[in-house]
Amino acid sequence: MIVVTTFEEKKREKQLTYERKLLRELSMVELKKSVLLHFAAARKSLNPWLDEGVEEACFDVAIEAFLTGGEFSRFTVHGETMEMAKRRCRSEIKHFTDTLYHFWLYWDYGKETIRDESIYFSCEHFVDSWWKEGYIKGERRHKLRLH
C-alpha cells in the first residue's frame, strides 16, 4: 500500500515542527511581564474583568510575532541582517500591530479612555520587541543547527 503525500503537506509538517521547537524557548513569565511593561497605562483604564481578554489578545499577537521573527531568521544563513529580514516581513509586522491596536480600540469603544497615538506606539513597540526576540532565538537555533 502506497501512501501519497504532497509537497504542501510535508512543508506544513516541517513548519509546525520548527514552530513547536521554537515555542519551547518562549517563557510565559516574560510574556506577562512584557504585557505589563508595554500596556501598564492603558490597562489601568479598563475594567478588571476585561483585563484577562485583553491580556490573551496580547499573548496571541506576541506569539505570532515571535514565530514570524523565528521564521525569518533563516535568512541569516544567507547573509542577511536583522534589519534586512525585518524589511522583508514589514507587511506581517504592520498587520500584527494593526490587529492589536484595533483590539485595544474595540475594548475601549465608547469610553475613549485611551489615547490613540500612545496605544498605537505601545502596540508597535510590543510587536517589534517580540519579533526581534523570535528572530534572535531562531538565529541562535540556526547557528547551532538545531532547526
Contact 140, 56 (CB under 8 A): no
Cell readout for 100 is: 492589536
> Global pTM?
0.86
The pLDDT, as a whole number, for residue 77 is 82
Give mean pLDDT, residues 53-81: 91
Query: Using the 8-state DSSP alphabet, how is residue 76 labeled?
Result: G
Which residue type does 82 have?
M
pLDDT band for position 50 (50/70/90)? Answer: low
Give mean pLDDT, residues 48-77: 86
The pLDDT, as a whole number, for residue 125 is 95
> pLDDT tens digits for 113-128?
566 678 889 999 999 9
> pLDDT tens digits for 94-111?
999 999 998 888 876 556
